[in-house]
Amino acid sequence: MTDTASRIADAAKELLSQDGSAAVTMRRIGGKIGMSAMAVYRHYPSREALLAHLADGYFAELAERWSGFPDEAPGRTFTVGLDRMLDFALAEPRIYTFLFTEQRPGAREFGELRAGGSPTFNLVVRAVEAQMRDGLLRADDPWLVGLTITAHLHGLIGLHLGGRIGLPDGEFRELCHHSLERILHGLRD
C-alpha cells in the first residue's frame, strides 16, 4: 500500500470512528488530507472498495487481538471472549456497528462464515469445538451453536448501542454475562 493510500485509509478510519460509515465519503477524506475527491479515487476505485479494505483490516486486527480466548481456562472461554467483544463494541461503537450489524456490500453471509471465511467467527467456532470436545457443551453443529451465541450477543449489543436497554455500560456487561450463561446452560447436557 502506498503512503497516500495509507493516509486515505487512516482518514477514513477517523471518520468512521467519529461519525459512522455514512460519513466516509471521498470528498470528506480528501478534505481531511488535502486532496481532491477525484485524487482519492486513484487509490481506491470506489467508496465501497475503501470500506471493504477497512473492514478486512479491522477483522484481521480483531482476530489477532481476540485469538487467545480459545486457550483460556476451560469454562471461561466464552466469558473472556464476551469481555473482549464488549470492550471493542463499547469503545468503538460506530466501528462495531459497521463491521457486525450494518448492511454493506461484501459483508460475509453465514455460508461464507460456515466455510471458514471469517477470522473472528472462526475463533468462536474453535472455542465451541473445544468446549464440545472437553464435554462442557453437548455435541452439536459447532457452526450453528456459534451462530446462536454470536447472534444473541450482537442483538444485545445492538439494542444497547441503540439506547434500548437503558443500563450503564457496567450493568449492561453484567446483563450480557447472565444472558450468555443462560444460553450456555441450554447447550449443556
Supply the pLDDT for residue 1.
Answer: 75
Q: Is 78 exposed, middle or buried (0-12, 13-18, 19+ CB in 10 A)?
A: buried
Name the phi and psi angles at 9, rounded to 5: -60, -40
| Residue ranges covered by each domain of the chain | 1-45, 54-187
pLDDT tens digits for the chain (189 residues)? 789 999 999 999 999 999 999 999 999 999 999 999 999 999 999 999 999 999 999 999 999 998 875 555 667 888 989 999 999 999 999 999 999 999 998 899 999 989 989 999 999 999 999 999 999 999 999 999 999 999 999 999 999 999 999 999 999 999 999 999 999 999 897
Architecture per CATH, 54-187 = Orthogonal Bundle (1.10)
User: In whole angstroms, what is the distance from residue 166 CA to residue 91 CA?
Assistant: 17
DSSP letter for 46, please. Answer: S
CB 70 within 8 A of CB 77: yes
Inter-residue contact 95 to 16 (CB < 8 Å): yes
DSSP 134: T
Q: What CATH architecture is 1-45?
A: Orthogonal Bundle (1.10)
Please tell me whether the overall predicted TM-score, pTM, comes out greater than 0.75 for this model. yes
- pLDDT, residue 69, reads 56
The predicted-structure confidence for 137-151, as pLDDT tens digits, reads as follows 999 999 999 999 999
